[in-house]
Amino acid sequence: MGDGEPAISVRDLRKAYGGTPAVDGIDLTVARGEVFALLGPNGAGKTTIVEILEGFRRRDAGEVTVLGVDPAVANGGRGAAVGAQARRWRQRVGIVLQGTGEFDDLTVGEVVGHFARYYPHPDDPAQVIARVGLTEKVAARTHTLSGGQKRRLDVALGIIGRPELLFLDEPTTGFDPEARREFWALIRDLQAGGTTIVLTTHYLDEAEALADRVAVIARGRLIAVDSPHRLGDRDSALATVSWRTPEGSWERTQSATPTAVVADLAARFSGEVPGLTVTRPTLEDVYLRMIGA
């Protein structure tokens, strides 16, 4: 993770709709170069938080800076100086929404090349198309793409400007397992190049594979922030050791020292322990407990 000024700083963020809090006093800091995942059920407030950070929605209260700029000022202020600041700030931020739009009459190459002209120093369109796995579709019109291929195009449009900060909203929806792994490799490559990434996903294995830290949001409040393996004290939780007895039944025990339990079992069985498994709470187990599911 990066040093110095954070990529995102949020203090006491609040937003209500019709008097009902959607975001109720959130504090967050995202370091530069970090992959930060927002987890939470539908209606938890994740989308509102991200839209405020992106400058698409105004907050009711709180302090927010994104790459050192208040997105509300950048997108809502008036005057030539503010307009120029907003353009510079927007050029530093990449956004992959749940659907960027339809370009039925254009090819993949034409769409990416068109979006590249919005930025002062864009990446090479052909290289971006290759990075998202669409080289074979460069001449295909976008209406012929599958759902997963359209999602890859959305990602290409989000990264064509070489963003310092990238927002990814459910980026692998519609991807098959192989495509998801390829996309994960792309995210790691972007992070290695210094890009800060804010990820919202319902795939907990995706958050665990990619995120340096995860934040769990429920009912507009921040429940916890930690690395995936430490969230909810996963790293110190009791392990469950299970095995099959000679009679064919199953036994299990919980222990803070599972290696010692396994050693005792190996001695008892003179070698291999039938059906041996050692498990700790998964990220899903911890997440569901935190949100009260």
**Which range has the worst mean pLDDT, 63-67, 102-106, 228-232, 261-265?**
102-106
Spatial neighbors of 122 by CB under 8 A, at least 6 apart, are 116, 160, 161, 162
What predicted TM-score, i.e. pTM, was given to this entire model? 0.85
Residue with tokens 């996963």: 234
Q: What is the mean pLDDT of residues 280-292?
A: 90
Q: What is the pLDDT of residue 183?
A: 86
* DSSP state letters, 258-292: HHHHHHHHHHHTTSPPTT-EEE---HHHHHHHHTT
Superfamily for 8-92+163-228?
A: P-loop containing nucleotide triphosphate hydrolases (3.40.50.300)
pLDDT at 182: 85
% of the chain surpassing 90 pLDDT: 67
> In what order do the strands lie in the sheet containing 239-244?
250-255, 239-244, 277-279
Would you call 78 helix, strand, or coil by DSSP?
coil
Please classify residue 12 by burial: count the beta carbons closer than 10 Å to its beta carbon, then call 0-12 exposed, 13-18 middle and 19+ buried: middle
Are 24 and 14 in contact by the 8 Å Cβ rule? The answer is yes
Residue among 269, 284, 274, 268 at smallest CA distance from 242: 274
Instruction: Find the angle CA(193)-CA(198)-CA(200) to the nearest 5 degrees.
Output: 135
Highest mean pLDDT among 33-42, 84-93, 97-106, 166-175: 33-42
User: Quick check: 159 pLDDT over 60?
Assistant: yes
**Which has more pLDDT, 99 or 210?**
210
Mean pLDDT, all residues of the chain: 90
Q: Does 250 score more than 50 pLDDT?
A: yes
Name the more confident of 237 and 110.
110
pLDDT at 100: 55
Domain ranges for the chain:
8-92+163-228, 108-159, 233-282
The predicted structure's pLDDT at residue 123: 95
Query: H or E segment at 241?
Result: strand 239-244
> Residue 79, Cβ neighbours under 10 Å: how many?
8
Q: Which of 68, 63, 5 is nearest to 34 (CA)?
A: 5
Structure-token pair, residue 149: 């291929």
Calculate ∠ Cα 184-136-122, nearest 5°. Answer: 65
Q: What is the pLDDT of residue 231?
A: 93
pLDDT of residue 2: 47
Spatial distance between the Cα atoms of 183 and 52, rounded to a whole number of angstroms: 26
Q: What percent of the chain has pLDDT over 70?
A: 94
pLDDT-wise least confident of 29-33, 86-90, 174-178: 174-178
